[in-house]
Amino acid sequence: MAWDVLSIIGTIAFAVSGAIVAMEEEYDLFGVYLLGIVTAFGGGAIRNLLIGVPVSALWEQEMMFQIALFAITAVFLFPNNLLKHWHRWGNFFDAIGLSAFAIQGALFAVNLGLPISAIVVAAVLTGSGGGIVRDVLAKRKPLVLRNEVYAVWAVITGLVIGFGIAKDDISLYVVFVLTTTLRVVSYLYKWRLPFRSIRGTEKAV
């Protein structure tokens, strides 16, 4: 039950995210649908490649593709006066997609009997892979590669599920809510990971 619900939530959230980014970049109708689909399913495709599952398994998710197409169409037809507020709540959709797909990716790896390292990788790639592809196609710096706290929440989610702390549906929903909340809070309060810049050094030389 949790698997299906989180799959639907993640698909809608990332499809909407991709479509709106495409409209922000003034892509045409084809570009909007392409970016929405790639964002919704890109993470799963990358995950499958790395853990040895045929990428063709994605084509078995006919219902998810229909849901993604419906969500993208709804966003494209949405009134412009509402879409202009995307920057206020757009990161919320991204947080939902990250959380839902990180859990889904971790569960996928657990069901395959993979080690904890593979479970964490599956959580990170499924949760952030689609967003990375979206940002690259939109010529933006991917969120996961910034000093912003983003993929860390997917790592923690993978560890929680990999070590069996969350197993039943209720605990998985709790993890989903907590991960989403932490991602939103980290964005609002601008939490950052340590980083170093060599730009000043280059200028000095």
Q: What residue ranges do the domains of the chain occupy?
A: 2-194
**Segment 36-46, tens digit of pLDDT:** 999 999 998 88
Q: Note the pLDDT of residue 146.
A: 74
Mean pLDDT of the chain: 87
Query: pLDDT tens across 99-147, in order?
Result: 999 999 999 999 999 999 999 999 999 999 998 999 999 998 887 777 6
- pLDDT-derived band of residue 87, with 50, 70 and 90 as boundaries? low
pLDDT digits (tens, 9 = 90+) for 51-72: 777 877 778 888 999 999 999 9
At 35 the three-state DSSP class reads helix
Q: Which residues are CB-neighbours of 147 under 8 A, at least 6 positions away? A: 192, 193, 194, 195
Over residues 153-160, the mean pLDDT reads 95
d(CA 183, CA 180): 5
Residue 128 CA to its chain's centroid (Å): 4
Average pLDDT in the 8-34 region? 91
Residue 8 clears pLDDT 80, i.e. is over it: yes
Asked whether the predicted pLDDT for residue 170 surpasses 90, the reply is yes
**What are the CA-CA distances from residue 96 to residues 40, 85, 139 (Å)?**
12, 18, 23
